[in-house]
Amino acid sequence: MPPTPVTGERRRRGATRRRHSAARYTRFDRWLDRLVVLAVIIALVVGGSALIVSLVL
């Protein structure tokens, strides 16, 4: 059995906690998310219209 840690010597287990600097990148992330959504919508519209044109012709 492993020895129990003495008070003050606790070992951390699991994922490493990192400091978040979310305030700095939050605005950029939202802008980038909107840009990606817009690009996906444009790609879907262009692809759908190309499919319709190819089926009609």
Q: Residues 8, 14: contact at Cβ < 8 Å?
A: no
Label residue 14 by pLDDT band (50, 70, 90).
confident
Segments making up each domain of the chain, as ranges: 25-57
Spatial separation of the C-alpha atoms in residues 39 and 4, rounded to whole Å: 55
Question: What is the per-residue pLDDT for 13?
Answer: 74
Residue 35 has pLDDT above 90, yes or no: yes
- Tokens (6 digits) for 57: 């012709």
What's the pLDDT at 19?
67
